[in-house]
Structure 1
Amino acid sequence: MNHAHIDNPAALGASGSRLARLARLGILACALAGAGAGALAQNQERDPRREEAAQMRERYQMQAQQDARAYEMRDQDRRAMEAQSDAARDDRRRGRMSADERRDLRRQIKEGADLYPNSRRR
């Protein structure tokens, strides 16, 4: 090895190789960081806890919708029953009983029910 024209051959080679090594390490670190970030992003998309939370959220929303529908149905049923009772009360006021009312009255008579509990005494 003939390094006659270079005053300090170790200094030049060492600093050049350090710079090259530092550049290679920097590039490697950036590549690893990019790959790690990509893997982390994929892992977050497939996180079972997030999927479970999303499923629970969907179930809660579906249950809330069903509850709202059930409430509406109960409200409609209640209104229909009130309308039926109002119609039955109106029919009774007219003095004529329906077949169901007559059957109920016969059953009550056979059972010995008190038909006129609040009768006045004269």
Structure 2
Amino acid sequence: MPYSPNPQHRNTQFSSTKSQWTIPIPAEEASFNHSVDQNWATNNIYWGLHLVELKPENLGISPCSNQLFIAKFVSDQGNWHGYPVATWLSPFDKPDEQTLTVWENRGLISTPKKSKIHRGKRCSL
């Protein structure tokens, strides 16, 4: 699946309104590819993590300067791009419970963190 980074999420001119990636583009692409390989998807949306030694690490920053740990990947006419999400700000920007359960079962997130994300509460992974 073709992947193209969205420049708005890497340009500080948009940082007051758009979340920004803080990891390099190859790491962003690796996060996308890993989510596709693991099928962390719901309704044609993939959810990703930036894993370092099998531990989720910060991958971006929100417009209000909070660290972000989860990415959302969407398709525009077959071309994919993604952005870091503040899961507590929008119900549409948080992974579904099935994806969260997979992450929990694989030891990527704890049960309390899964619960916080699911309820729309802020948490660091």
For Structure 1 versus Structure 2, the TM-score category normalised by the shorter chain is under 0.3
Q: Which has the higher strand share?
A: 2
Normalising by structure 2, report the TM-score: 0.16
Which structure would you say has the larger RCO, counting Cα contacts within 8 Å and 6 or more residues apart? 2
Q: Which has the higher helix share?
A: 1
Normalising by structure 1, report the TM-score: 0.17
The higher radius of gyration belongs to: 1
